[in-house]
Chain A
Amino acid sequence: MNWDWQVFCKDTIDGNMVPRCFGGAGDITYLDWLLSAWGWTISVSLLALLVALVLGSIMGILRTAPHRGLVLLGNAWTELFRNIPLLVQIFLWYHVVPALIPPLRGVPSFLLVVLGLGLFTSARISEQVRAGIQSLTGGQRMAGLAMGFTLPQTYRYVLLPMAFRIVIPPLTSESMNIVKNSAVAFAVSISELTLFALQAQEETSRGIEIYLAVTGLYFITAFAINRVLHFVEQRVRVPGMIGGGG
């Protein structure tokens, strides 16, 4: 087996070796392209994660509200976005939604992917947030209300601070999943890692090196998210609780 890691130092146009591996003056090497693709993967993932966390939390909360209409809304949202394959959802956002809603025609496919991946993941986060809130005893809600808190205050000060602590571990997996799932963006021509891998291995015939590099970057990204959330988990531990410090 002959490794050829020099492939990343080649110019993407003429295939010549570039000294120091970074191109300049409009020419780029495969290393430049790889890093740019990594940037797209990170951008899609983080923005989609933001969409998913905000919408998923709202929907999860609604599903625990003492109001039938709100519960129904949260349930419908969750079932809609988790019962259709992710890839199909991305194609729906790319091909179908702009056809049905003309103002969306000018929206860049990057944003459509962020939306598609974000909404898909929001359904999963909604499920986790709901479970987190319901894992608290009904007594906590009553205690909050009995102190004179309104229902929103009871959520804000009593239920959510504990519920979010409880769901950090599943939210960590979900945040790592979003990095991995962002690979679907290649399907609508976002120049992210997977698309880079497909095209670069075609052009260079060095598929093994290319795929290994991409694999490494996916791993690093997902693992970085894991470490950040692990740090958060440690920081917010409650003294005297199971697994808590002090």
Chain B
Amino acid sequence: MPMIEMKNVSKWYGEFQVLAECSTQVEKGEVIVVCGPSGSGKSTLIKCVNGLEPFQQGEVIINGISVGDPKTDLPKLRARVGMVFQHFELFPHMSITENLSIAQVKVLGRGPDEARERGLKLLDRVGLRSQADKFPGQLSGGQQQRVAIARALSMDPICMLFDEPTSALDPEMINEVLDVMVELAQEGMTMMVVTHEMGFARKVAHRVVFMDQGRIVEDDKKEAFFGSPRSERAQQFLSKILHH
């Protein structure tokens, strides 16, 4: 059974179709990179995975549980699916430690001390233990995004979703975030990553999904995708982002 399975997912904003019969899957321990030109629907696609964006047709199944089923306890399911956003979305009124522990306490029912310990351990892991008592507004973008990754990990997720995690960062901060992600991937975390960082894709992705105009145009093993993408659109895209 795949960890994440999308079957013919379609979504409309009014008349405008943003996703057209998108199907793909992510096996346990697999890392897939979703790329494509802006407006191609990749952010919308990844937000459909944990039901942050509703979809009108098709099915998304995470670890055997259907996301679109009205009977599904979505908060419970989302608590097990880590998500990292383009703009970090740390809670600005809470210290870093509180950001890491609040959901553990309020959602998972862990004790405050246990949650704090777990949070600090993860901060250590992303190299930010010394920032524990600061507030998000006092951290750089790269640091905030590493905290956001630690926050998602604090819930012991069964898989992780990344929605353009480095595109709001200054260039010199991109690598500190990618390093954390590469490490996660190498440890066997199941990951679905929307990104333009082809270096990251080359290094750790198993498969690359290429989207254009709301459709999944290519869904290939990494070697095949970078070797010779079959669609002309993907070739153009790659030549645009790789040659400068």
User: Residues of A with Cβ closer than 8 Å to B?
Assistant: 137, 139-140, 142-150, 153, 157-158, 161-162, 165, 238-241, 244, 246
From known contacts A239-B135, A244-B137, infer whether A146 and B93 are also in contact, taking CB-CB under 8 Å: no
Q: Which of B29-37, B101-109, B193-201 contacts A (4 or more CB under 8 A)?
A: B101-109
Contacts of B136 in A (CB 8 A): 240
> Does B106 contact A149, Cβ atoms closer than 8 Å?
yes
Q: Are B91 and A239 in contact (CB under 8 A)?
A: no
Task: Judge whether A241 and B78 touch: CB under 8 Å.
Answer: no
Residues of A within 8 A of B240 (CB): none
In the complex, the answer to whether A139 meets B85 with C-beta atoms within 8 Å is yes
Per-position binary interface string of chain B over residues 82-103, scored 1 when its CB falls under 8 Å from any chain A CB and 0 otherwise: 0101110111110000000011
**B47 proximal to A (CB < 8 A):** yes
Chain A's interface: helix, strand, loop or mixed, by majority?
helix
| Given A157-B102, A239-B138, A246-B138: A148 touches B107 (CB 8 Å cut-off) | yes
> How many B residues face the partner with a CB closer than 8 A?
31
- Residues of B at the A interface (CB closer than 8 Å) are 47, 50, 52, 75-76, 78-81, 83, 85-87, 89-93, 102-103, 106-108, 134-139, 151, 155
Kindly report which residue of chain B lies nearest to residue A146, judged by CB atoms. B83
Quick one: which of B75, B89, B106 contacts A143, CB cutoff 8 A?
B89
Which among A140, A161, A240 is the interface contact of B137 at CB below 8 angstroms?
A240
Known A-B contacts A142-B47, A147-B107, A157-B102; A238 and B79 likewise in contact (beta carbons under 8 Å): no
Q: Is the CB of B137 within 8 A of A239?
A: yes
> Which residues of A have CB within 8 Å of B87?
137, 139
Give A143 to B144 CA distance when docked, in angstroms. Answer: 14
Q: Can you give 10 A-B contacts (C-beta < 8 A)?
A: A146-B85, A147-B155, A148-B155, A149-B103, A239-B134, A239-B135, A240-B92, A240-B134, A241-B92, A244-B135
